[in-house]
Structure 1
Amino acid sequence: MPVQDFAPGLAVQGFTPPLSLQDFKLVAFDMDSTLINIECVDEIADAVGRKEEVAAITEAAMRGEIADYKESLRRRVKLLAGVTVADMEQVYTERLQLNPGAEKLVQACKAAGMTVLLVSGGFTFFTDRIRDRLGIDYTRSNVLEVRSGANCGELTGYLVDQPRGDICDGAEKRKMLLETCARLGISPKQAIAVGDGANDLPMMGEAGLSVAYHAKPAVRAQAMVAIDEGGLDRLLEVVSP
């Protein structure tokens, strides 16, 4: 079904606005380039002069041109070896910003009684802070290994295994959405999923409402709502508080 313009920079397909947040019980957000303005892995790589190389892999992965997301992330993380925790702190304080409308949309969802989930192919160093900053209920992301002993405080270039596995990819985002719905006793059709890259498509495909925010073309084409101009809170133009 073709995407139809609803307002300048805002398009919908598959339903007739307006809907109501009261119809939904869960909202799941991607983080990098969705809730926040940067791809954290690219900015971390800048500290060791490898931003261009890492960003090229990130862009290909987000466009869906790299089939194995996990391998693409391992390649990028390998290039982060030697980055310090202080470097990451600088990325957070000097480069990372919430995207326009992010806080307003999260607050509106919480006011409507919705649970908020953050699922990211990024890293806990950042997702934990965004969780606390926005009052998010649940998160799932990846853990960067930090060297101990000599050169402590530096990234090793590897990820830490977690009980759920070492990497949160598209399949894991989908699984987290479905498991959170089951925990809440709701249908996935009572969930909203918001993202921008190809690894968000699996969870967006399960949700009752899928939202593409300044997204890659393949994601925009499949989403029920496409926000191409303005902030995340433009969703409230088609899904009323």
Structure 2
Amino acid sequence: MKRKANPQGYNVVVFDCDSTLSAVEGIDLLAEKYGVKKEVEKITHHAMNGHSNFADALAFRLQLVRPCKSDMKWLGGQYIEREVPGTKELVTKLKKLRKKVFIISGGFDSAIKIFASHIGVKKSNVLCNSLLFDKSGKYRGFDNSNPLSKNHGKKIVLKQITKLGSTVFVGDGVTDLEAKNVVDLFVGFGGVKVREVVKRESDIFIDDNTLLRMKDIAIGKNIAF
């Protein structure tokens, strides 16, 4: 059943990052840089559309790419360069309304935190996967104790965030949709990529190329999309 926005609004607004706040799939960009784009994009497509195990997909893609520490600064810049129109403006408006703004992503914290600082989300409110590097900056794995490295990880993390108050979650993929029943409202975003199952199952679906209408949803307006 599709839910409508609560007229009283939401205290907490949570965003996915890749293909939501930025028109980037971070792991795919790294794959392109390392010449394994085709193989990695195929795995990403299956994972984001719910056709494969997320934990296995993450491990396999990282093993193919093996990014180094210096790649994270470069990737952070790519997130900024490809910011979805109006994202920084939206975050500013939400903060003025005293909304708590979070980013939850299966992407990599050292890159996404660069982007988060740019759009005005504090680093402590950014929850992502952590990559592990040796002293020379070479890839040596990822933190597999992090719930976000596993299936249904966003659902687990969001359960904790919802303790802060009524929560709306915005995302583009099936791993986002899986958390629908944990939050008070799930908003699907198709401004970068439309995934049919997300469009069909989300409470509200935005297919604009901007997230600016999220401000109205956050304060409880029910708008026809």
Normalized against structure 1, the TM-score is what?
0.79
Q: Is the 8 A contact 1:30 1:200 kept in 2?
A: yes
Structure 2 matches for 1:60-71, cutoff 5 A? Answer: 60-66=46-52, 68-71=53-56
Cα offsets for 1:150-193 (capped at 9, x unmatched): xx22223x21345xx364445221222221222x2x3xxx2110
- State the distance in 1 between where 2:130 and 2:215 align: 33
Residue pair 2:9, 2:217 contacting (<8 A) in 1 also: no
Residue pair 2:147, 2:153 contacting (<8 A) in 1 also:
no
Whether 2:199 is the aligned partner of 1:200: answer no
Which amino acid is 1:121 matched to? G
Q: Distance in 2 between matches of 1:123 and 1:200?
A: 16
Could you say what secondary structure the match of 1:204 adopts?
coil
Structure 2 residue aligned with 1:219, among 177, 198, 204? 198
Q: Structure 1 residues 113 and 94, CA, compared in 2 at 3 Å: closer, same or farther?
A: closer
Question: Are 1:170 and 1:202, in contact at CA under 8 Å, matched by a contact in 2?
Answer: no
**Given that residues 47 and 87 in structure 1 are in contact (C-alpha distance below 8 angstroms), is that contact kept between their aligned partners in structure 2?**
no
Q: Is the 8 A contact 2:9 2:218 kept in 1?
A: no
TM-score, length-scaled by structure 2: 0.84
Tell me if the contact between 2:73 and 2:111 (Cα under 8 Å) persists in the aligned partners.
Answer: no
Q: 1:176-191, aligned counterparts within 5 Å? A: 176-182=157-163, 184=164, 186=165, 190-191=166-167
User: In structure 1, what is the equivalent of residue 186 of structure 2?
Assistant: 210
Q: After the TM superposition, which of the residue ranges 107-116 and 193-202 deviates more from structure 2?
A: 107-116
Corresponding residue for residue 63 of structure 2: 78
How large is the Cα RMSD of the aligned pairs? 2.3
Aligned to 2:74: 90
Quote the residue 1:46 is aligned against.
Answer: 32
Question: Which residue is 1:139 aligned to?
Answer: 126
Per the alignment, residue 34 of structure 1 pairs with 20
Task: Count how many residue pairs are aligned between Structure 1 and Structure 2.
Answer: 214
Could you list the runs of 5+ residues in structure 2 that have no partner in the other structure?
Answer: 221-225
CA deviation string 1:52-103 (max 9, x = no partner): 111110011101111x21111111111122x333334333335642211212
Off by >6 Å, runs of 4+ in structure 1: none
Contact in 2 for aligned 1:196/1:213 (Cα 8 Å): yes
SS at match of 1:203: coil
Note the alpha carbon deviations across 1:118-144, whole angstroms, 9 max, x for none: 111000122221232233241211111
Query: Aligned in 2, Cα 1:177/1:94: closer, same or farther, shift over 3 Å?
Result: closer
Return the offset for 1:26: 0.4
Identity %: 26
The Cα shift of 1:25 comes to 0.4
1:223 corresponds to which letter in structure 2?
Answer: S
Higher strand share: 1
Look up the match of 2:142. Answer: 159
Deviation at 1:194, TM superposition (A): 0.2
Query: Does the CA contact (< 8 Å) of 1:170 and 1:200 recur in 2?
Result: no
Structure 1 gaps of 5+ residues are 2-12
Matched, 1:172 2:153: yes
Distance 1:91 1:199 in 2: 22
Residues 1:80 and 1:153: Cα distance change in structure 2 (over 3 Å): same
Structure 1 residues 169 and 228, CA, compared in 2 at 3 Å: closer, same or farther? farther
1:17-69 deviation digits (Å, cap 9, x = unpaired): 7x65x521001111111111100011111221011111110011101111x21
Find the aligned partners of 2:93 and 2:137 in 1 and give their Cα distance.
38
